[in-house]
Chain A
Amino acid sequence: MADRTTAYTALASQGCDTDYGGVTTELAGKTLVPGVYCSTSFHLSSGTLTLNGAASAVWIFKSASDLIITGGASSKVVFIGGGQPCNVWWRVVSTATFDANSTLVGNILADTSITFAAGASLDGRALARTAAVTLSSNSITGPTCGAGAEAGGGVGISGVAAGSSSSSSSSSNGSSSTVCPTLNYVAPIIIDSKRISPTSISINWGPYSGTDKFIVRYGLTNGNWLYSTKVTGFSTIINALPINQPIWIQVAARNDCSVGNYGTAKLAGGPSLPNTGFAPAPLRREASENNIPWNIPVGIFVGISALLVLIQRKHRFLSGH
């Protein structure tokens, strides 16, 4: 929930490249380059919205009120130039509404609610902050995204990638998919770590608890996570690290839209054992064993004992025995 709010706030803080002003904006028939588009309300009705940009391009649509998708199958979003659904963001102040059989792509963050009528579909995520995401025989997938091209290309939506489990009640009568299933996986334990070069460290973890998808985050101090990387499998090698610098690592299970609990952090790539000695002086170890000054009381004791014996002998001599 916190991450959802972070994402919502991050989107809200983006300035508008194009502001359509206080009128409802019909997106059908438009071809838009990457950027931030603002309007009082966005509609996509019976037509095609074309997004023209490269794989890393990001489109952000900020609606001051609602987002309404109508027109059924004739409403659609197409990409030219390689753009990807995972890099399309819809920030909606009130509600997002999908009429029957309508489709959309991208990540919807609505302040209030998101409602899908029967047959509507979304290639992306539906995250509502305060009320429900309502489903009715819908298909929600993805968001579709090529490797290494997730959001952030120059726009900087920090906090979004962390994700969180979505959401809320779903009044589903036979819904065909779920909205970002909750993760119930065990927090992974880092089993082994090893420095394999001055700049790379290998780690592996477990146990298997239903998924082989993980996210590994790391940094130079415990709790200050500077980087994260998605991994499929139970081991990875982290490269391009500062020379001989150990790193703190945590691993969590993930799915396409959220991240589970991180396991206990572990220091990996620790230094080699220190060199704490110099050329030895002969017999130093033996000599050092006497560093507690027992010789003083023992010396006094022996001396006084000898004195006592002498006095005793003198006493015997004087008393004539």
Chain B
Amino acid sequence: MKAYVGRPLLIIALAVFSLLLLFYLSFDTNKKSVSQNQVVSKASPGSPVRLMIPAININADVEHVGVAPGGEMESPSNTVDVGWFKLGSRPGENGSAVISGHFDGKNGEAGVFTNLHKLKKGDKLYIKDDKGTTTTFIVRESRTYNPGYAEEVFNLNDHAHLNLVTCDGIWDKNKKNYTKRLVVFTDATHL
């Protein structure tokens, strides 16, 4: 009788273990496939097409955005894509490339950068360009700004930077705008 009960126990325990192992491996494989593609250095990066931030589970298409009539950087057209500021530097070239993403959507859904505040120093992100190459960036710091001009987000040219921008603070009903902006500064691992 003891053996009759023990065998299914063993089978079930093995099944649970392999199931858990499968989940862990599937997440791990994603991370590895990204890092294997990374390029150490390149002379002239192409236009960015994809942004990957495994630490906060982002894998988003990159739109190209410009300046809105009011003078602010445009946001991407939807909550799942991110928007690269096409008038500035390209990610991976000397200068400050800037990418924006929605914090939330019209219908209350989470935006691609809802969890941007969770990035911490040392986290890695990856940009794939239209030439198929991937550039790696490392988070340096996060900073909160008031809405408005912030030249240093766009124009530092001592290195290849990639700066991520989204909304932060609390919702201002009157201005229909969040009260702050969150900028995550990252630096390319090459150069």
To the question of whether A and B form a pair in one complex, the answer is yes
Q: Which residues of A does B touch, CB under 8 Å?
A: 192-195, 198, 220-222, 244-246, 264-281, 284-285, 287-289, 291-292, 296-297, 300-301, 304, 307-308, 311-312, 314-315, 318-319
- Which of B73, B88, B89, B95 meets A274, CB within 8 Å? B73
Report B97-116 CB contacts with A as 1/0, cut-off 8 Å: 01011111110111101110
Q: Which of B45-53, B120-128, B133-141, B151-159 lies at the interface with chain A?
A: B151-159
Whether B75 and A246, one on each chain, are in contact in the complex, defined by CB atoms closer than 8 angstroms, is no
Once bound together, how far apart are the Cα atoms of A307 and B13, in whole Å? 11
Chain A residue at minimal CB-CB distance from B82:
A276
Expressed in whole angstroms, the minimum distance between the Cβ of A203 and any Cβ of chain B is 10
The residue of chain A having its C-beta at the shortest distance from the C-beta of B183 within the complex is A273
Residue in contact with A270 in the complex, picked from B1, B88, B109, CB distance below 8 Å: B88
User: B166 at the A/B interface (Cβ < 8 Å)?
Assistant: yes
In the bound complex, how far is the Cα of B98 from the Cα of A220, in angstroms?
17
Q: Give the top 8 A-B pairs by smallest Cβ distance, nearest first.
A: A270-B154, A281-B108, A277-B167, A244-B71, A288-B110, A271-B73, A274-B73, A273-B181
State the main secondary structure of chain B at its contact with A.
Answer: mixed
Q: Which B residues have a C-beta under 8 Å from some C-beta of A?
A: 1-2, 5, 8-9, 12-13, 15-16, 19-20, 23, 57, 67-75, 83, 85, 87-89, 94-96, 98, 100-106, 108-111, 113-115, 145, 147-151, 153-155, 157, 165-167, 171, 173, 176-178, 181, 183
Which of B2, B15, B157 contacts A315, CB < 8 Å?
B2
Q: Are A277 and B178 in contact (CB under 8 A)?
A: yes
Q: How far is the CB of A308 from chain B (nearest CB, A)?
A: 7
> Considering only CB atoms, which chain B residue lies closest to A198 in the complex?
B71
Q: Which residues of B contact A244 (CB under 8 A)?
A: 67, 69-71
Q: What would be 11 A-B contacts, judged by CB atoms less than 8 Å apart?
A: A271-B67, A271-B85, A275-B147, A276-B75, A277-B166, A277-B177, A278-B106, A280-B104, A292-B57, A297-B23, A307-B12
Q: Are A277 and B19 in contact (CB under 8 A)?
A: no
**A224 → B minimal CB distance (Å):** 12
Q: Whole-angstrom distance from the CB of B160 to the nearest CB of chain A?
A: 12
**Given A220-B87, A273-B73, A279-B151 contact (CB < 8 Å):** no
Q: Is the CB of A300 within 8 A of B19?
A: yes
Contact at A246–B165, with CB atoms within 8 Å?
no
A272 contacts which of B5, B72, B102 (Cβ < 8 Å)?
B72
CA gap between A32 and B72 in the complex, in Å: 55
B149 touching A270, Cβ below 8 Å: yes
B104 to chain A, nearest CB (A): 5
Q: A278-B106, A279-B173 are in contact. List 10 more A-B contacts (CB 8 A).
A: A244-B70, A245-B87, A246-B67, A264-B157, A270-B98, A273-B149, A273-B150, A276-B75, A277-B103, A287-B110
Docked complex Cα distance between A266 and B87 (Å): 12
Give, as a whole number of angstroms, the nearest-CB distance from B73 to chain A: 4
CA distance A304 to B69 in the complex (A): 58
With contacts A246-B67, A267-B89, A300-B16 taken as known, whether A275 is within 8 angstroms of B167 at the C-beta atoms is yes
